[in-house]
Structure 1
Amino acid sequence: MTEGRQLGFDTLQIHAGAAPDPATGARQVPIYQTTAYVFRDAEHAAALFNLQEVGYIYSRLTNPTVSALAERICHLEGGAGAICCSSGHAAQIMALFPLMGPGLNIVASTKLYGGTITQFSQTIKRFGWSCTFVDMDDEDAVRAAIDENTRAIFCESIANPGGYITDIPAMAKIADEAGVPLIVDNTSATPYLCNPIALGATLVVHSTTKYLTGNGTVTGGCVVDSGKFDWSASDKFPSLSQPEPAYHGLAFHPALGAMAFTFHSIAVGLRDLGMTMNPQGAHYTLMGIETLSLRMEKHVANARKVAEWLENDPRIEKVTYAGLPSSPYHHRVSTVCPKGAGALFTCAVKGGYDACVKLVDSLELFSHVANLGDARSLIIHSASTTHRQLSPEQQEAAGAAPNMVRLSIGIEDADDLIADLDQALTKATA
């Protein structure tokens, strides 16, 4: 790559983490479908296990195809290191694992994907962790929720399902005051629309299943570390700042500095949790990222046009798209997502729950699936599916009320999408 020149996003999404294969000259990243790697000798093996040398040991820990993907996402997010894993949910646990312990808690936004709310409100209790959910539009409430056992603040850049935009700089300031990391799920925005690290985030998580892959083929997750957090500034993070008994007493942060979190996540997290991304899946995502900026520009343009049409349609009560001037989150777009407000939002259909179900069943171009970020336009009634496990109060707080449907606008012709919505709304509200 060009010496001393900062490469642009469009260049990085194609070239970062990829070089011609030294053995064959293959230009595309090969799929290294192997379980293990031959050591040069016993000394080489020992150096790898001691983290004195970087290399490949076993594909539960690292794999060249997966590593290429991690490096590419890391470059796009402006991080120091990254770890890929099996899903977005796995990425969330991977992000928390080095920070948490029994009796400790996190503070999270009420505006999150329903599965994340369930993971944080129910599943992590089995580890002895807990979560306090707070409306992050209320900064005083966020501060009040933090106590001596809080180890992280968690939010989404563009919240699923409502498309609400979080004030990341404000949350970063609160996290800094409390001496804890800010973790931002950047799935809905992607690094093309939002750069949480530049806005003050410590860790960024992704479901690579969504926009990064962009074609609905594979699941995956990624955690990107900014490398900027001082894990040794207090005694809150002993797994990183003090000798780690799970890795023969290595003190990761004193020894590895900015790469401490990344190496801990590989050497301990992936080793023991086993949330491994497969190389075939990594390859699909690498290919998807090559067109990320092109797709996101089309996603955003289509979303804006569809949202404007819906807002002016008498059969719709409201549209939550932050790209609309009427949105209470519109003023955050220029700061948090300067290239656009994403392509995910909800709309309230007159006729409530029954009309939403009829709308979903009447669409022809839109696919009714539990996914987002596909090149195809997708729709789902969150209250009866992705957020079904939540209480009515939690559904309302998350932006998934019974009269709302979630739209993930794809890259088709926008006029065709509008025509499909028009005919389906006619049937749903007849």
Structure 2
Amino acid sequence: MSNTLHFETLQLHAGQEIDPTTRSRAVPIYQTSSYAFKDAEHGANLFALREFGNIYTRIMNPTTDVFEKRIAALEGGVAAVAVASGQAAQFIALNNILQAGDNFVSTSYLYGGTFNQFKVSFKRLGIEVRFAGSDEPTDYEKLIDENTKAIYVETIGNPRFNIPDFEAIATIAQKHDIPLVVDNTFGAGGYLFRPIEHGANVVVESATKWIGGHGTSIGGVIVDGGNFNWGNGKFPQFSEPSPGYHGLNFWEVFGTDGPFGNIAFSIRARVEGLRDFGPALSPFNSFLLLQGLETLSLRVDRTVQNAQALAEWLEQHEQVESVNYPGLPSSQYHELAQKYLHRGFGGVLSFNLKGDKKQAETFVNSLQLVSHLANVGDAKTLIIHPASTTHQQLSEHEQLSAGVTPTLLRLSAGIEHIDDIKADLEQAFAKVRQHDKQAVLNEA
């Protein structure tokens, strides 16, 4: 199917060929662990990668294959690899690039789970993360040395809501012959932002969020931009014989000059990453995520509309100290948001209440419509207190570096009527005022 079709059409049709036997219009759920080989030669060819096909659902599955092709089309990549979660996506992608003794450069303005994975878990593997001190691209470059193998950023930082200057950072990555990896979870599957068009080489995202969009399934995906030279001498796992694949040279066979085009990154992530680490996406979850994709643009349009309205309303509220949302002219990232985000400024915002942690807890506990839980990108409006949940494992200094304060609340806008969301927030504000008044009376 042509990738010149509009996003709204690709989200419904890309990657699927009608089953010639059943003529099923919906993508079937291939709930199977394995697949029968035609004969001995066929099985041997599949295992040797002499031909493509299904071997085992830990590595590939026909339902998941449609999901992967659809996401690749929406993100503008050459191929995609679906995995069991967003955390698995970034792990498999970076493990595909990095080896013990290597380092990569990122920022502290990250989702708390990502920060911890980079700082703690990768360290156990002998891989060092170096956190830039600011958003300035030059601060990233200062940390690069001969062992640096990647730069990693998020489309919209969570929960600081900073916007990197992608093209400037991509230029630095190109200068040093290293890939730029972008977590595009907040870019909504390519609808709000397509990192590959701005110099990214690999995209990872949590499909649990806007892609699935209904809080029913966990999943992640890696998109191969097909635009990086993995044979440049810095990545021996691609350019030298693989000890785990009978001496196969991934770059020679699956690189730019190979018969399949530059799909070396995605092939290795699948046949070594998924095979050896095993974070496979179940066929049923692939089906659910495909269902979500079909209405992605419709949901995101409503979500960003609600998020913008809530940000503007909260910014004027007397009980709010500050609002972080790149769609606000007051945001220091507004200019970059206008440059890179063309269909809205994201579906999540954060705001600091006036007062202390107690006011934040009272506010959250008083909500009736808005759900208090650890997720974003749902059709329903969600809220969380990052300091005590998603970023709890960080030190106080690390929390502040990530933009997390004791009174910060993160809100993921849903698709409910905006007046109903505002009404629920306003009654929670009233409960905070009532609680504060009672506290003063108790002290008198």
User: Shorter-chain TM-score: what band?
Assistant: over 0.9
Give the equivalent residue in structure 2 for 1:47: 45
> Aligned match of 2:181 in 180, 183, 197?
183
Map 1:166-245 onto structure 2 (within 5 A): 166-190=164-188, 191-233=190-232, 235-245=233-243
Tell me which amino acid in the other structure corresponds to 2:72. Answer: C
Map 1:305-316 onto structure 2 (within 5 A): 305-316=309-320
Is 2:21 the partner of 1:17?
A: no
Give the equivalent residue in structure 2 for 1:334: 338
- CA separation in 2, counterparts of 1:286 and 1:418? 31
> Aligned match of 1:109 in 97, 107, 110?
107
Map 1:14-413 onto structure 2 (within 5 A): 14-190=12-188, 191-233=190-232, 235-257=233-255, 258-413=262-417
Q: How far is the alpha carbon of 1:160 from its aligned partner?
A: 1.2
Give the equivalent residue in structure 2 for 1:414: 418
SS in 1 for 2:80: strand
SS in 2 for 1:314: coil
* Deviations 1:62-81 (CA, angstroms, capped at 9, x unpaired): 00011111111000000011
Q: Mean Cα displacement is larger for which, 334-343 or 66-75?
A: 334-343
Gaps of 5+ in 2: 256-261, 435-444
CA contact (8 A) 1:351 1:429 kept: no
- CA separation in 2, counterparts of 1:5 and 1:224? 15
CA contact (8 A) 2:3 2:10 kept: no
- CA separation in 2, counterparts of 1:131 and 1:192? 29
Report percent identity of matched pairs.
Answer: 47
Tell me which amino acid in the other structure corresponds to 1:306. Answer: L
CA contact (8 A) 1:350 1:429 kept: no
CA contact (8 A) 1:366 1:379 kept: yes
CA contact (8 A) 1:33 1:279 kept: yes
- CA separation in 2, counterparts of 1:328 and 1:381? 23
SS in 2 for 1:246: coil
* Deviations 1:274-298 (CA, angstroms, capped at 9, x unpaired): 0100000010000000011111110
Gaps of 5+ in 1: none
* Deviations 1:352-383 (CA, angstroms, capped at 9, x unpaired): 21111111101111100001000000000000
Q: How far is the alpha carbon of 1:334 from its aligned partner?
A: 2.2
- CA separation in 2, counterparts of 1:399 and 1:5? 38
Q: Mean Cα displacement is larger for which, 377-386 or 327-336?
A: 327-336
Give the equivalent residue in structure 1 for 2:439: none
- CA separation in 2, counterparts of 1:387 and 1:67? 34
- CA separation in 2, counterparts of 1:136 and 1:84? 32
Q: TM-score, normalised by structure 2?
A: 0.95
CA contact (8 A) 2:3 2:73 kept: no
- CA separation in 1, counterparts of 2:356 and 2:11? 42
CA contact (8 A) 2:137 2:165 kept: no
SS in 2 for 1:90: helix
Q: How far is the alpha carbon of 1:162 from its aligned partner?
A: 2.6
Which stretches of structure 1, 4 residues or more, deviate above 6 A after TM superposition? none
* Deviations 1:219-245 (CA, angstroms, capped at 9, x unpaired): 011000100000112x21111121111
- CA separation in 1, counterparts of 2:427 and 2:162? 28
* Deviations 1:55-107 (CA, angstroms, capped at 9, x unpaired): 10011110001111111100000001110001000001110112111111111
What is the aligned length? Answer: 427
Q: TM-score, normalised by structure 1?
A: 0.98
Say what the alpha-carbon RMSD is for the aligned residues: 1.1
